[in-house]
Structure 1
Amino acid sequence: MKKIFGWLHLWLGIISGIVVLIVAGTGSLLVFEEELEHTFRSSFFYVEIPANTPRQPLDNLTDYVQRENPKYKIFQIVVEPEANRSIVYLLRKGKVKEIKNQLYVAVDPYTGRIISSLPGNKRFFSVVLQLHRYLCMGETGKVITGVSCSIFTILILTGLILWWPKRNNRKQRFRVKWNASFKRLNWDLHAVFGFYVHIVLFFIAVTGLVWSYKWVNNLLYLAFDGSTKQQKIVAPTSLAVENTGIAYLEKILAKTNERLPYEGKITIRFAETDSLAISAAKENRTRHDNVADFLYFQAGTAELVKERLYDNESRGTIARRWIYPIHTGSFYGVPTKIIALIASLVAFTLPISGFMIWMGRKKKKPAVMVKKKLPVNRTAEPRPAIQ
């Protein structure tokens, strides 16, 4: 059986190796996406707080951003709770799935000045995410990454079977022999490191399948809700009221903070048509990552139309919200992110070390069988012939 699993592990690894390399490498970058982006592009996300200068109304800032970018349509506004944070707009045009049709605009909320405008295809982490999910190949890439993710799940299980030690060989399978030959060291790095992160990688791979296959997503709802039928999350119907003279976006912010008094980022998202309500999602930082409550408001008046709170969601929907923090390792903050980062880096090395193991075996010369001649005792007496 080990020979069968070894053959399976080898050829599935060769088939999916390059894709696993790309997905694991980009995944390791995405673990600390927010921290890295805020460090290397701090001027985009942070502003100086001037003395005795209040924040400008969100409606004024939004109108200005729209006037300065007439070819785009504002899709969402991100407002952070900290006073020294810029307000970030996401604008879109044409085919919304293409990152080249996206534009990120950072605005100083005190001066109203546009700090910077960044096209989606020039934002580093937008490109990294496209590589991670689609290999920058659209739906074709999504199919390839989905198949490779499935194969990687099998590789984790077959790798564990191949790693499983015999009774007299347990110590070798738990530690790396650093002073060994290169071939032995490479095998240890592949097998031992792979073993120590296999549980983390298994959960990362399995949760990744939820985005790749609808049937996996349905299976999740079936397990927790008893049915694959899931509520479609769309904004409720609400006709926009124009020319009211009300700073309704500012009112949406105030009402959201009043209804949801905990600290957290607020994302205001505009509907595709004027017949649907505007949503305001507020992240609850007192709980795990990806927990948010949604409020829906009428455009023009900021009248509350509907609320969708996290605690009132179905068990299937709550389980679905857990998929992202488990996949990225963000559910308990920095400590679990570090674990996910280490696991992703090990996964990045596995196709390389595995390929080197395979190449080493290919170059190995086959053993030549030499027949050993028995010595002839010439002094011995000849045996008499059998009568």
Structure 2
Amino acid sequence: MTAVVRLLRKTIFWLHLIAGCAAGVVILLMSLTGATLMYERQILEWVDGYQVTPAANASRLPLEELAAKATAANPKQALTALTVESDANAAVMLAFGREATQYANPFTGELLGEGAAKARNFFHFVTELHRWLALEGESRDTGKAITGAACLVFLFLVISGLYLWFPRRFTWHFIKRIVAFDRRLTGRARDWNWHNVFGFWACLPLLFIILTGLIMAYPWANNLLFTLTGNPPPPPRAQQARPQGGKPEPVALSGLNQAWDTAVAKVPTWQSITVRLPANAKAPAMIFISESHQGRPDLKSQLNVNLANGEIVTWETFSTYNLGKQLRFWARWVHTGEAGGIIGQTLAGLAALSAAVLVWTGFSMSWQRFRRRKGAVAK
């Protein structure tokens, strides 16, 4: 190894160590919260949903009637969305604003309850902790800046770690020490072995998780994705004001049945349909149609309908998007692993746990290194 290569390796090593110590706590928090969210969707479906048993020859209520019954039963909050599953035994999920959720019997319109609110609140808190350290108000931007910076540092750690991992000699003796666990080791040697093994096997999924996280965290990364695909970045989306409490603004429900029939005719193989009611009379109803319960953006469509006259405002399927927008839609589901179904979720969760091990072993080795240096100086 030449002097230049040794100097480069030493420089990257110290940058790797310092960056890991600086951002390690935030990376550890993001890793643990990410692992906690691994099976969020399945857990909430298990504890949150209601199963109904329809009577013989019973049929679902028309959407307008179901929405009217829900509004009458809960007049203090504005109904903002309904989610209907193709499973006849699944209850309809009703959203009242951004926070309140109720479930209804699709055959009678009877409200069944709010489901496992504590479980939803728990995952909501973990998600906010993961994204912006659960800070509120103006401090939220600070939290997003911290987690975004930690994500950038983590990208450097993974790339530099891969370089440092690269064996000096490609023999099985050297490779085995950094790709397989050695149960005989203890202390610092064990930490070094674990750091290399977990880093090697989790490297690829972590790169996907980090890169997609950067795309969602930074506008420049999002715009870069579109630029690299030769497509213009989309303009920033304006936040649509929705009622959050108090006396709700009346929303005309007339036209929902026709809009529903249009959506079902567009996608007969639907598995779930979410209808987001318009915030005002001029806005269209937004209908999100999914042909899969997994995180498959290529099996999702969006239909915007003017309820007043039944006119289709926009009809978008995955194939109508340009390459930049398609990759942007995939980014969210690749980040959580849901793009690969239960196997993808599991791999993403295990990668997050591996990242936590990398932080822990990195801290341990750094502490032992500094303590040993301090002892040597004292002598």
**TM-score, normalised to structure 1's length?**
0.83
Q: Which has the larger radius of gyration?
A: 1
Deviations 1:314-334 (A, max 9, x none): 121111111112111122312
Q: Give the counterpart letter for 2:307 in structure 1.
A: A
The corresponding residue for 1:115 is 112
1:140 and 2:110 aligned: no
After TM superposition, the structure 1 = structure 2 runs for residues 177-216 of structure 1, keeping only pairs within 5 Å, are 177-216=182-221
- The 3-state SS of whatever aligns with 1:89 is strand
Does structure 2 retain, via aligned residues, the 8 Å contact 1:187–1:353?
yes
- The 3-state SS of whatever aligns with 2:10 is helix
Does structure 1 retain, via aligned residues, the 8 Å contact 2:44–2:120?
no
1:31 and 2:38 aligned: yes
Q: With CA pairs under 8 Å and 6+ residues apart, which has the higher RCO, 1 or 2? A: 2
The corresponding residue for 1:9 is 16
Offset of residue 251 of structure 1: 2.7
Q: Give the counterpart letter for 2:106 in structure 1.
A: P
Offset of residue 55 of structure 1: 2.1
Percent same amino acid at aligned positions?
27
Q: Give the counterpart letter for 1:199 in structure 2.
A: L
Q: CA distance change for structure 1 residues 73 and 315 in 2, over 3 Å: closer, same or farther?
A: same
The corresponding residue for 2:343 is 335
- The 3-state SS of whatever aligns with 2:29 is helix
After TM superposition, the structure 1 = structure 2 runs for residues 237-386 of structure 1, keeping only pairs within 5 Å, are 248-285=255-292, 289-291=296-298, 292-364=300-372, 366=375
Deviations 1:159-217 (A, max 9, x none): 11221112162221121111211322222112211111111101100110112110111
Offset of residue 228 of structure 1: 3.1
Does structure 1 retain, via aligned residues, the 8 Å contact 2:132–2:147?
yes
Deviations 1:339-378 (A, max 9, x none): 11211111122211211111222333645999xxxxxxxx
Q: CA distance change for structure 1 residues 120 and 326 in 2, over 3 Å: closer, same or farther?
A: same
Deviations 1:23-82 (A, max 9, x none): 1112122232111112233xx343333333322222222223333444432222111111
Q: Give the counterpart letter for 2:153 in structure 1.
A: I
The corresponding residue for 1:164 is 166
CA distance in 1, matches of 2:378, 2:274: 73
CA distance in 1, matches of 2:70, 2:309: 21
CA distance in 1, matches of 2:34, 2:258: 38
CA distance in 1, matches of 2:184, 2:255: 68
Q: CA distance change for structure 1 residues 298 and 120 in 2, over 3 Å: closer, same or farther?
A: farther
Deviations 1:221-274 (A, max 9, x none): 111134335596999xxxxx987xx85323322221111222321111123322
CA distance in 2, matches of 1:298, 1:4: 61
Alignment length (residue pairs): 353
Does structure 2 retain, via aligned residues, the 8 Å contact 1:218–1:228?
yes
CA distance in 2, matches of 1:15, 1:64: 55
Q: Give the counterpart letter for 1:49 in structure 2.
A: P
5+ residue gaps in structure 1?
A: 93-100, 236-240, 371-387
1:103 and 2:100 aligned: yes
CA distance in 2, matches of 1:139, 1:69: 34
The corresponding residue for 1:126 is 124
1:67 and 2:72 aligned: yes
- The 3-state SS of whatever aligns with 1:66 is helix
Does structure 2 retain, via aligned residues, the 8 Å contact 1:177–1:188?
yes
Does structure 2 retain, via aligned residues, the 8 Å contact 1:45–1:86?
yes
CA distance in 1, matches of 2:112, 2:293: 31
The corresponding residue for 1:379 is none
**TM-score, normalised to structure 2's length?**
0.84
5+ residue gaps in structure 2?
A: 1-7, 241-249
The corresponding residue for 1:218 is 223
Q: Give the counterpart letter for 1:161 in structure 2.
A: Y
Q: Which is further off, 129-138 or 56-65?
A: 56-65
Does structure 1 retain, via aligned residues, the 8 Å contact 2:337–2:348?
yes
CA distance in 2, matches of 1:258, 1:49: 24
Q: Which is further off, 104-113 or 203-212?
A: 104-113
- The 3-state SS of whatever aligns with 1:266 is strand
Q: CA distance change for structure 1 residues 49 and 264 in 2, over 3 Å: closer, same or farther?
A: same
Q: CA distance change for structure 1 residues 135 and 165 in 2, over 3 Å: closer, same or farther?
A: same
Q: CA distance change for structure 1 residues 9 and 234 in 2, over 3 Å: closer, same or farther?
A: closer
- The 3-state SS of whatever aligns with 1:79 is strand
CA distance in 2, matches of 1:369, 1:298: 78
Does structure 2 retain, via aligned residues, the 8 Å contact 1:57–1:247?
no
Q: Which is further off, 129-138 or 223-232?
A: 223-232
Q: Which is further off, 281-290 or 175-184?
A: 281-290
After TM superposition, the structure 1 = structure 2 runs for residues 46-57 of structure 1, keeping only pairs within 5 Å, are 46-57=51-62
Q: Give the counterpart letter for 1:253 in structure 2.
A: W
Q: Give the counterpart letter for 1:7 in structure 2.
A: W
